[in-house]
Amino acid sequence: MIEKLARSEGKTIGFAVSGVVDKDDYEVLVPAVRAVVEEHGSVNLLCDLTGFRWEKADAWGTDLDFGRDYKHATTRMAVVGDSAFGHLLAVLALPFYAQEVEYFSDVDAAWAWVSAG
């Protein structure tokens, strides 16, 4: 499941990604990011993966399409997690999803960093 976070404001938008993500979950993420990019020209993105478990194979293509379509418009991406797996995802995200990516275990620190971009 992907849910937009209420703390989103201006060109900074955050999402909680939890459980097992499937292709339909991107119907929350993609239009919201598109709207921010259309309004502000770029986006700062926070992904809280604390509750994330896995992504179904049917979502992989949509995930990669999102990266292709929005990498150059994504100035900063903060990845929040509580495991080595989350840190690995942040490292892997850099070449595909954003111009800058940082990993955080503290969500408030992540919001502060991503909002400053």
Predicted model pTM: 0.89
Q: Are 47 and 15 in contact (CB under 8 A)?
A: yes
List pLDDT tens digits, range 103-117. Answer: 999 999 999 999 997
With 90 as the cut, is the pLDDT of residue 36 above it?
A: yes
- Enclosing H/E stretch for 62: helix 57-70
List pLDDT tens digits, range 40-50. Answer: 999 999 999 99
Question: Can you tell me which residue has the tokens 């990516």?
Answer: 101
Q: Are 2 and 29 in contact (CB under 8 A)?
A: yes
CA torsion angle 103 13 31 26 (round to 10): 30
